[in-house]
Amino acid sequence: MAHLWPDNFPDPQVIVTGRDGDQAYLAIATNAGGCNVPTLWSSDLQTWRAGDDALPALASWTLPGKVWAPEAARFADRWVLYYTTRGPEDGRQCISVATAERPEGPYRDVSEAPLVYEDEVGGSIDASPFTDTDGQSWLTWKNDGNAVGVDTWISIQRLASDGLSLLGEPVRLIKQDLAWEGHLVEGSYLWHRDGRFHLFYSANAFASADYAVGHAVAEAPDGPYLKDPDPILVSNEVAAGPGHCTLFEQGGRTWMVYHAWQPGAVGQAPGRSLWLSEVHFGADGSVRVDPPAR
């Protein structure tokens, strides 16, 4: 399994769920095709069909057009969707939150203000929830520093038990400091395996073949993290600029879903399509990802 959907479907997440009593796979992504949060459905991870807009209406304080990188997680008896959208004042990006009874929505955002809004450092994007084995939930995100010429940081902060508010203070985890990362890091996703916390992230310009997935590891969710010196998923002859990944488990295996451009058409139509690769964890904390393949 590799190339799942040929059309534009950037910043994807796949959720293993049940629908009408049968196991199903739900994919959500950045705004496309007239939807704030487009969805896809599959029963086998191979054949997909388009679903409804998971977020048909936005919060009253924002505007459509820049709804990016949605991620959903279950908290008790409801689902919580974190998404990037326009801020209420200066138009910089921020993070909001919506809830629904089912993972596919429809989600409703009744907030009166953003959940995270770091306008002084470019805004806030790419929120990703994570729940540890002890039941504590966290949120990671990126300040959009490359939009205003400052550093980009992946930060983490504890979430309340309902997922709708933040606790304590944020902790900065990593920034762009390796040559291959260019001017930014973004698209964080946290995964726990065998007592270690694996931080997956993307770096470099998204509309270039240099965009790639990096990896860092720590002994606690809030770090400190040690980065791999080189990216773990890069462009090849079938997929260019792979990035903004999320992970899920199925069949005793761990899978990474991500987007990539067609080689020779980076930054052009049909856009960033949906890809899948298997992730392999080493006993020493190392990670290997199968390269994109047709």
Closest-CA residue to 230 (of 246, 218, 214): 214
Residue 254: which H helix or E strand, with range?
strand 253-261
Length of the chain in terms of residues written: 294
- What are the b/e assignments for 31-66, b being 16+ CB within 10 Å? bbeebbbbbbbbeebeebeebebbbeebbebbeeeb
pLDDT digits (tens, 9 = 90+) for 177-219: 999 999 999 999 999 999 999 999 999 999 999 999 999 999 9
Query: From first to last of its 294 residues, what are the pLDDT tens digits of the chain?
Result: 578 899 999 999 999 997 666 779 999 999 999 999 999 999 999 999 999 999 999 999 999 999 999 999 999 999 999 999 999 988 899 999 999 999 999 999 999 999 999 999 999 999 999 999 999 999 999 999 999 999 999 999 999 999 999 999 999 999 999 999 999 999 999 999 999 999 999 999 999 999 999 999 999 999 999 999 999 999 999 999 999 999 999 989 999 999 999 999 999 999 999 999 999 999 999 999 999 998
Give the pTM.
0.97
